[in-house]
Chains A and B, each alone.
Chain A
Amino acid sequence: MSMISGDKSSTEILSLKSSDNEIFEVKKEVVLESITLRGMVEEDEFSDTLIPLPNVEGKILSKIIHYCQKHTEARAKVNGSEGAADSKEIKDFDSEFINVDDKTLLGIILAANYLNIKDLLDLGCQKIADNIKEKSVEDVRKTFNIKNDFTPEEEKAIREENLWAFD
């Protein structure tokens, strides 16, 4: 899946390559949403070549690019004249965007961390936190497929230490 901008001459297009060899052509301004990529791009090493992202698979990368595009557009509008109206729009976009299955969510978070896209990282982590909140310990394990690797003694010790919190 690749996204090609309409007008190559006015905006520089960069190519991002995912871990599974999908190539995405993305406007430079969108790429700059990622602090990590900003560093690479500004060093001018990658202006004509592919930027390989071996830690990010195509499916996740495409979502991230979509997020960055949307936020770049929203920011452009704010700098124009439609500020307030947009913040609801972008909030709605965000909540729908992050409403994905857990596996994708975890992938997005790791990628956002690697690519250093703060807003997306906050969005994803907050979503996970909301999923964890007020869930039982067992539900959390199930949701995230986490193994209970405590010994009985360890588990007892932890429970007793925090007994006060769960009366």
Chain B
Amino acid sequence: MTTLNFSHRPIFPANPSEENLVSSIRIANGYVVEGISDKNGDGFGKPRRFNWEIEDSYDCRRERDDRGGPREPVSNDILDILPSDPFGMDISATFTAITGWIEDMEADSEKYVRDDTGDMKGDYQFVAGLNFIWNRAMRFQAEPGSAGVAERSNPVGRVDGCVEEKEFADGSCDGGFLSVCNVEEFLSFGDDDYCAASRPSDDTHEAAESCPPGEGEGEGEAPHDAVSFALRYLGVQDLLSAEKVCRTLCSAVQNDPLLWMNIHIDQPLSERIIDDALIRLTNRAQGNLQSLSLVECSRITDDGVKRVLETNPRLKKLSVPGCTRLSVAGIVSNLKAFKSSGAPGIKQLRIGGLYGVTNDHYEELKLLLGLENCQQPRAYKARFYHNGGHLSPCCDDDRAIDIEMCPRCQNLRLVYDCPSEICQAKQGASQLCRACTLCIARCVQCGRCINDSEYEETFCLDLLCSSCWKQLLNCPERQEEKGVPSSKHTVFHQETRYHFRLYG
């Protein structure tokens, strides 16, 4: 966690001239340190009770969870580093390098960075990033004050920002600063935004001096009400991001049960979510959780599902396709316990992709779901194999349970119909092109059966019928959209936006 504990000394000299700015920069990396004003930047002196997270980022390579661990050389990827100790250690060597570098920037900053590579090999990327920011800061010297603010704030902010928000690959960083409210303005350096981000120095000055949390007159205000309305339209991961924006949104995300009544966990959260995290999220519904969809959440266990059911008696729909740590026996037992606890019970269950479903399991599940002790009526709309089958939401409908007995192999699996007109015209149960994918291979794109016709096998071991294959190869625009290179030697792009997934 990065914090900035500013002294009450103003950051900016009363009459900022360029020279003052530069010397101030040298002094402080953003803070004024008493008694140090030489130009070569050597006189850093002892750091006072300022926040030296930068040091952490320079000197440490640590995991997120490793707070206060040993200092090690900084990793090549600054974004992997999270400083945690607000009271730093001696970073004078590092800052000497930086301030010297800044000094040279007046002449030729780029040259300096290159020269500096040897000394701070591990920091080169970081320094290059800083250089970028400093370069831009220098360009925007419209007013001495604002430029000064940028210059002072940047390294601290940038370091902190980069360090904290490694997950945001677009290069903008969450400053995480609280005291200097508009320091954050300078932390994300979108090309178009930088100018707009500059602020007159007096705002920052004010903000720096009097910015206790929740108060202060820095940039920004409480979020517009409309932003809170929009929370309903966000997925889980975006909601968790929104929590970090400000107190109002955090409170809304954490305390509004309506946001958590229908929880859908998909990529990229699906491979990260664990039982405890799932319980925390479902608890936010405050007992009103209605549907829970966990797509390929391979770390969720039967125990996790059990705990969710225990605390959410109103749950009606449970969808766990591809959750490989769940067992059918576990699901059956959990649903039994759920029902006997007096809950109305689950009405819709999706377990496509779970293996080892026996007939007994199936019968018990049907009972628990309130189905008559017979086959589900075939009044449901046809299900076509598409984009991986059970993983595609478009396969969802009103059925109580998604799996059924395959007419051909008699196993309990997901069964697909055939979109081909020829197959749809077939009459008679034995002729129907309707079976699980082990019995009837299907094109992953259109769902047609691939039996004796030509097909191609994709890199992901899916099958494509010849017409879908040709369509893919002959459509350069679509290929670009979907990220598929147009070379015939490359088969498929692995990005899921083309709906191909690696099954692993």
Q: Is there a chain B Cβ closer than 8 Å to A43's Cβ?
A: no
Q: Is there a chain A Cβ closer than 8 Å to B273's Cβ?
A: yes
Complex contacts, B178 vs chain A, CB 8 Å: 148-152, 155
Range of interface residues on chain B?
Answer: 35 or more
How many angstroms between the C-alpha atoms of A155 and B165 in the bound complex? 12
Beyond A136-B188, A162-B243, whether A110 also contacts B225 by CB under 8 A is: yes
CB < 8 Å neighbour of B242 from A125, A126, A140, A152: A140
Please, what's the 1-or-0 string for B166-180, where 1 marks a CB less than 8 Å from any CB in chain A? Answer: 011010111111100
- Of A11-19, A77-85, A127-135, the one contacting chain B is A127-135
Q: Is there a chain B Cβ closer than 8 Å to A121's Cβ?
A: yes
Q: Let me know if A145 and B219 touch, CB within 8 A.
A: yes
Beyond A109-B229, A129-B233, A133-B234, whether A141 also contacts B245 by CB under 8 A is: yes
Q: Let me know if B246 and A139 touch, CB within 8 A.
A: no
Q: Is there a chain A Cβ closer than 8 Å to B185's Cβ?
A: yes
CB < 8 Å neighbour of B188 from A121, A138, A147: A138
Complex contacts, A121 vs chain B, CB 8 Å: 229
Could you tell me which B residues sit within 8 Å of A by CB distance? 1-3, 64-65, 86, 161, 164-165, 167-168, 170, 172-178, 181, 184-185, 187-188, 190, 193, 197, 213-214, 216, 218-227, 229-238, 240-247, 249-250, 269, 272-274, 277, 280
Q: Let me know if B221 and A142 touch, CB within 8 A.
A: no
CB < 8 Å neighbour of A137 from B65, B216, B226, B244: B244
Give min CB distance, B496 to chain A, whole Å.
Answer: 14
In terms of DSSP, what is the predominant structure of the interface of chain A?
helix
The 4 A-B pairs at the shortest CB distance, nearest first, are namely A147-B220, A156-B1, A129-B233, A152-B3
Give min CB distance, B227 to chain A, whole Å.
Answer: 5
Complex contacts, A154 vs chain B, CB 8 Å: 213, 247, 250
Give min CB distance, A133 to chain B, whole Å.
Answer: 5
Q: Let me know if B226 and A105 touch, CB within 8 A.
A: yes
Q: Let me know if A125 and B226 touch, CB within 8 A.
A: yes
Beyond A146-B246, A156-B1, whether A106 also contacts B226 by CB under 8 A is: yes
How many angstroms between the C-alpha atoms of A137 and B221 in the bound complex? 15
Complex contacts, B64 vs chain A, CB 8 Å: 163, 167
How many angstroms between the C-alpha atoms of A129 and B269 in the bound complex? 18
How many angstroms between the C-alpha atoms of A151 and B3 in the bound complex? 9
Complex contacts, A146 vs chain B, CB 8 Å: 220-223, 227, 245-246, 249
